[in-house]
Amino acid sequence: MKFQNLSQAKKLTGLSYLGSVNSSSKMAKGLKYNESTYIIYLAPAKSSGYEVCPMRTDECTAACLNESGRNKIDIHKNQINQARIKKTKLFFEDREFFMGWLIYEIGKEKEKAERSGLRFSVRLNGTSDLDPTTFKLDNKNILEWFPDVSFYDYTKVSKRFRLLEKYSNYDLTYSFSGYNMIDCVNLLREGKGRVAMVFEGKQLPTKWSGYDVIDGDAYDMRYLDEQNVIVGLKFKKVRNKIDTSNNKFIIPMNSPFSVYENN
């Protein structure tokens, strides 16, 4: 099945769109930086029947932001989760159609941003961790379809950093999972990237283990950040109740490696 137009896609799938621009409060913060960001939210982990987070842990799965924000209160109808499952199945079961639709949406939003005088970027993995080169149509992956667009992701897959050597329009931030501390520290020591960490509490430390912590909630466009820093993210409540004191994915406030302004 080939994507023809938006009307056809809506009729065949029951979906209104694959991705959207500035669709959350954090993404909308990019407008302050003259930035418009297109993002896709798929069904995380294996909730669609297909694994989209290959290096996930039980802890990060439980604390996943998939069911935060508006989706935290969409309990009864569960429409947001159902739509994300549909999109994920479409990606795995009809890649050609998915990609035709994706290329159409990115192209349209890119033109809209340019008309408004905004920079344009794309985050393929809002709630997933898929290799961007698997987003492929006609022997070209999505990074090759839009070589003048900045793509960025967070990932727990360390080997994916190899893609940075080939694609200058792709940026990655490594994510702490609770069990990959050695890889995180090595990346920082070598000055080859930045690491995202989730911290307990309403205040981020200024340093963690000697490395500067920047506010990762101020905006989402990580490719604007310097390297060799920790991207601090405050823990957000989700539908499930999380015991933050017993979740290795979340850095506790009493961590001996954290330095706060009032310390």
Q: Which pLDDT tens digit goes with each residue over 57-80?
A: 888 887 776 554 454 444 445 688
Least confident residue range of 74-83, 174-183, 219-228, 232-241? 74-83
pLDDT value of position 192:
85
CA distance 175 to 60: 10
Provide the sign of the torsion angle of the four alpha carbons 194, 198, 204, 210, taken in this order: negative
Rounded to an integer, the average pLDDT of 117-136 is 96
pLDDT value of position 9:
97
pLDDT value of position 238:
59
pLDDT value of position 73:
43
With 80 as the cut, is the pLDDT of residue 244 above it? no
pLDDT value of position 185:
93
pLDDT value of position 231:
97
Q: What are the structure tokens assigned to 86, written together? A: 């549909």
Query: How does the average pLDDT of the chain come out, rounded?
Result: 89
Give CA angle at 139 (133, 141), nearest 5°.
25
pTM for the model stands at: 0.90
